[in-house]
Amino acid sequence: MQKFIVILGAVCIFFSCQSEKKEKESVTIGGKKKEMSLADQGKKLFNDKGKCYTCHKLDKKSIGPGVAEIMKIYKEQNGDIVAFLKQEAAPIVDPQSYSVMKTNFALLKTFSDEELEALEAYMQSVGN
């Protein structure tokens, strides 16, 4: 019985640490560990893996609408940006330009759900 309680306790600790991991991630910079917030992880994805910056500026229209404008509209219309990025929801910002954005969905399909959530957190931080 004691073994069962110890194993159950270890499992609970493991899963409680997992949810904390989603909010912050450790990275090593210059030999020092640094915690990255979800928004910081999203910023890295926006600028590196996603290369979103090539079409979306933070506060003005470029090839695509600015991030602040996107998040303002999504907030006003109670939209789900992650669902859109997964191609599970129709575009609500500048639908005429959707065909240009559509070419990027191949890259977005390589993003995990956690990465998409981090990207959303970054975009929300810009939109505030």
pTM summary value: 0.72
108 and 90 Cβ atoms separated by less than 8 Å? no
Tell me how far apart the alpha carbons of residues 125 and 78 are, in angstroms, rounded to a whole number.
16
- Assigned fold of 38-127: Cytochrome Bc1 Complex; Chain D, domain 2 (1.10.760)
Tell me how far apart the alpha carbons of residues 15 and 8 are, in angstroms, rounded to a whole number.
11
The pLDDT confidence band at residue 6, using thresholds 50, 70 and 90, is: very low
Give the tens place of pLDDT for each residue, 38-92.
999 999 999 999 999 999 999 999 999 999 999 999 999 999 999 999 999 999 9
Give me the residue spans of the domains in the chain.
Answer: 38-127
The pLDDT confidence band at residue 13, using thresholds 50, 70 and 90, is: very low
Tell me how far apart the alpha carbons of residues 125 and 43 are, in angstroms, rounded to a whole number.
10
Give the tens place of pLDDT for each residue, 89-127.
999 998 888 888 888 889 999 999 999 999 999 999 997
Tell me how far apart the alpha carbons of residues 107 and 118 are, in angstroms, rounded to a whole number.
16
Q: What is the DSSP code string of 76-111? A: HTT--HHHHHTTSS---S-GGGHHHHHTTHHHHTTS
pLDDT for 34 equals 64
For residue 69, how many C-alpha atoms fall within 13 Å in the half-sphere facing its CB? 13
The amino acid at residue 105 is: F
For residue 68 the two structure tokens come to 């602040």
